[in-house]
């Protein structure tokens, strides 16, 4: 079973940047498509970005397009989310997830989830 651990969250001022990391415990990570989601208090979990196992076929949610970049390093079993030009509305718990099927915007397409890392953007 794939275990995912996110890191890199924290408190940042609006306009700042953070880079989130998600490390997997298995070498089989390389065959999984990966996604990032986020959930703000009182809101549903929202798609942020996804990347195919090969590192291409990138997809982004409309609210982060042009500001966030997803990437992966299969040699390190890690996927990243570079977040620039952060806004207070980006405040949420950020989750990474692994899919055996396809890179997807839909929660149900993902098989494994991390515990999440808090990102707080102050105005």
* Res 61: pLDDT: 97
* Res 27: pLDDT: 82
Residue 67 has pLDDT above 90, yes or no: yes
| Mean pLDDT of all residues in 68-90 | 97
| Mean pLDDT of all residues in 107-122 | 97
User: Between 60 and 1, whose confidence is greater?
Assistant: 60
Instruction: Please name the residues in contact with 31: beta carbons below 8 A apart, sequence gap of 6 or more.
Output: 53, 100
C-beta separation of 51 from 34 below 8 A = yes
* Res 46: pLDDT: 97
Residue 68 has pLDDT above 90, yes or no: yes
CA distance 70 to 84: 12
3: left (phi over 0), alpha (psi -120 to 50) or beta: beta
* Res 31: pLDDT: 86
């Amino acid at each position: 079973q794939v275990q995912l651990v996110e890191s890199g969250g924290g408190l940042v001022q609006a306009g700042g940047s953070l880079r989130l990391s998600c490390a997997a415990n298995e070498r089989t990570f390389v065959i999984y498509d990966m996604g990032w989601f986020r959930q703000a208090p009182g809101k549903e979990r929202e798609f942020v970005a996804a990347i195919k196992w090969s590192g291409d076929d990138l997809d982004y949610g409309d609210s982060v397009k042009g500001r966030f970049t997803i990437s992966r390093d299969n040699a390190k079993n890690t996927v990243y989310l570079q977040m620039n030009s952060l806004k207070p509305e980006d405040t949420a718990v950020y989750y990474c997830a692994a899919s055996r099927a396809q890179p997807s915007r839909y929660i149900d397409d993902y098989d494994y989830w991390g515990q999440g890392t808090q990102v707080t953007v102050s105005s």
